[in-house]
Copies of this chain bind each other. A is one copy, B any other.
């Protein structure tokens, strides 16, 4: 098995590096003091330190279910399975549905593609348009696979947001074919303008909706979940249990105590949206100024700006930029066949404005040299 390019880069990043590579949140915005208060409350006694149930802490599942219901997607706590990040959620599902075919977007999330190959899923890639996956090809592919993995909200890596119309058409197609959808949505709370209703909401009996606190709160919590109909969720529980018994109990309790104060999370999300929106606008303004030949669509949320660099092999560009300690991910990494040579994914959330300016200036200098 191959290791992830991004995680290997991550391990070789020094504090001096400017990294637009990983999907890292802005560390300075983590609510450490509110989490500290929660940890203090939880560790007042010993009850949070024992083994717990495989599906997750009931009161945390209830809070997650309530959030879905508030967003118009009626959900009960027994439709939630807490996982060690949504990465594990994806592993549990595809391990259970191993040896099948699956329709994915091109480009798609690298960590998902690695898991699909680990679980012997045969990948069928369908191109992504600016408003979501290409419908005609999707329909054809789904006839063969009856199983699909999509990231409709501020997609990783493309930043693409599915239009409301496409969401409805896709739900219809999945419903008609009685297929299964894995809807991966770790960025859905990070919208700049308005929240988006999930596709799963339209087809609750045919979908796994994956959520996570990694992007909206802190990755180190490693808390994600699967939202699915009880009938779909039931067979997954035995897998979860065999894999690691249950998700970290101490952190589930800390998170539960943090969410108990409703304003905690809501205020944090407001602040995060504003800050990331501001950073995205800054990043694109510098991009437009320094690298006008980089063609991209402004994202409506999430963490990534994705685009094309005319006449530049971005894998070679990365190698040259690495020497100057500037990192990004070449688009080739996000396709099953690495024949894409001129695309780039930039993460705009992790770096400071100073780093953004400095990093993009270095990329400009290196790319100018390559073109001259």
Interface residues of A (CB under 8 A from B): 1-4, 7, 10-11, 22, 24-25, 27-28, 30, 32-33, 35-36, 39-40, 43-54, 84-85, 87-88, 91, 111, 114-115, 118, 214, 218-222, 235, 237-239, 241-251, 253-254
Q: In the complex the two chains form, is B219's CB within 8 Å of A248's CB?
A: no
Q: In the complex the two chains form, is B85's CB within 8 Å of A245's CB?
A: yes
Cross-chain contact of A249 among B39, B222, B235 (Cβ < 8 A) = B222
Please give the count of copies of this chain that the complex contains: 2
CB distance from A269 to the nearest CB of B (A): 16
Cα-based distance from A358 to B276 in the complex (angstroms) = 60
CB distance from A245 to the nearest CB of B (A): 5
Closest B residue to A119 by CB, please name it.
B242
Which residues of the other chain, B, contact A4 by a CB distance below 8 angstroms? Answer: 238, 241-242
| Residue among A3, A24, A54, A214 facing the most chain B CB atoms (10 A cut-off) | A3
Q: In the complex the two chains form, is B220's CB within 8 Å of A50's CB?
A: yes
Q: Can you pick out 28 interface pairs between chain A and chain B where the beta carbons lie within 8 Å of each other? A: A3-B241, A7-B53, A7-B245, A30-B46, A32-B43, A35-B43, A35-B250, A36-B44, A49-B220, A50-B218, A50-B220, A84-B84, A84-B244, A87-B243, A87-B245, A88-B243, A91-B242, A91-B243, A114-B238, A114-B241, A115-B242, A218-B250, A220-B249, A220-B250, A221-B250, A243-B243, A248-B251, A250-B254
Cα-based distance from A114 to B244 in the complex (angstroms) = 12
Q: Given the known A-B contacts A84-B244, A243-B91, are A54 and B7 also in contact in the complex, defined by CB atoms under 8 Å? A: yes
Q: In the complex the two chains form, is A87's CB within 8 Å of B248's CB?
A: no
